[in-house]
Amino acid sequence: MHVAIVMDGNGRWAQEQGQPRIFGHREGANAVRRAVEAARHEAIDVLTLFAFSSDNWGRPVNEVSALMDLFGLYLESETKRCRQNGIRLSVIGRRDRLPVSLVEAIHLAEERTAAGDHMLLRIAVDYSARDSIYRAARAVDSAVSREFFELAIQAVMYSVSPALDVDLLIRTGGEMRLSDFLLWECAYAELVFLKKMWPDFRAKDLRDAIGEFHSRNRRFGKVPVAANPPVLTPAADMTNIPVLSQ
Ligand code: IPE
Ligand code: IPE
Ligand code: MG
């Protein structure tokens, strides 16, 4: 099962307490640790977390640099834990605009956790779904068949996961939008929007969202067998025709 999370609401969470937004991002990093730990105990094969969108570069410089510092600290402190727990860490998104030290930390974290086979943890940094689709499309000959195009685009996109399609997408913070996250992969994702802010996210929220996912009827455009009406005999068919009132 592939779960993706838009971890939104750090800034508002901090502001609600009269604290600067960066305080919320720091607490958000703790929520990431909790979420990864919780995901490890659920049947989740791939967890993709939206940490920094390409549009987030437009935020104040001090917020952006605080976020970059936090990613570095997170990688430093979590690589060992991931390794111990069989979690393979991978960062998706552009790397050419990230601080060089962060790119090095990413390489190191990916290398050190490469053998993890319990869960794949993907962190999206400087990520834009549109940009990833654009890059993939450019790498693929436009004259190929649709099937080949889909295979090629999946291969070329930033993803390293075979389970590319998202099953369940969770967004905290109350907004009901994708904000350029995994547009291709969410074609048939079940969407769960939570009002609570990301720093308040707990293991139970993940469990509840997964419970909600299992209660949904995924049809993928088809008609589920169970929902097909039983085949009726002609007589029964006649009696079932509703009488329309004038
Ligand atoms: C999500 O929280 C974290 C990032 C986008 C980096 P926000 O920083 O967007 O928090 P709000 O939405 O302003 O409350
Ligand atoms: C989406 O949140 C990006 C991340 C959570 C990293 P934003 O806060 O950037 O999205 P908008 O601006 O509300 O759409
Ligand atoms: Mg936000």
Supply the pLDDT for residue 133: 83
Q: Around Cβ 8, how many Cβ atoms within 10 Å? A: 21
- State the distance from the centre of ligand 3 to the C-alpha of 142, rounded, in angstroms: 36
Report CA dihedral (84, 170, 50, 34) to the nearest 10 degrees: -30
pLDDT at residue 226, rounded to an integer: 66
**What pLDDT does residue 50 have?**
98
Element (H, E) at 121: strand 119-127
Q: Which listed residue (10, 30, 45, 56) is catalytic?
A: 56
The tens place of each residue's pLDDT in the chain, 246 residues long, gives: 999 999 999 999 999 999 999 999 999 999 999 999 999 999 899 999 999 999 999 999 999 999 999 999 999 999 999 999 999 999 999 999 999 999 999 999 999 999 999 999 999 999 999 988 888 777 776 667 888 777 777 776 655 444 479 999 999 999 999 999 999 899 999 999 999 999 999 999 999 999 999 999 999 999 976 655 656 554 444 344 333 333
Q: How far is the CA of 9 from the centre of ligand 1 (A)?
A: 5
DSSP assignment letter at 169? E
Q: Whose CA is nearest to atom 9 of ligand 2?
A: 56
- Atom of ligand 1 minimally distant from the CA of 197: 14
Q: How many residues in total does the chain contain?
A: 246
What's the first-to-final CA gap in the chain, in angstroms? Answer: 51
pLDDT in the model for residue 146: 80
Using CA atoms, how far apart are residues 133 and 211, in angstroms rounded to an integer? 31
Dihedral in degrees, nearest 10, Cα atoms 233, 238, 240, 243: 170
User: Please, which residues have CB less than 5 A from ligand 3, an ion?
Assistant: 8
Single-letter residue type at 61: V
**Residue 118, SS3 per DSSP:** coil
Any atom of ligand 2 within 6 Å of the Cβ of 198: no
Q: Which pLDDT belongs to residue 162?
A: 44
Nearest CA to ligand 1 atom 3: 8
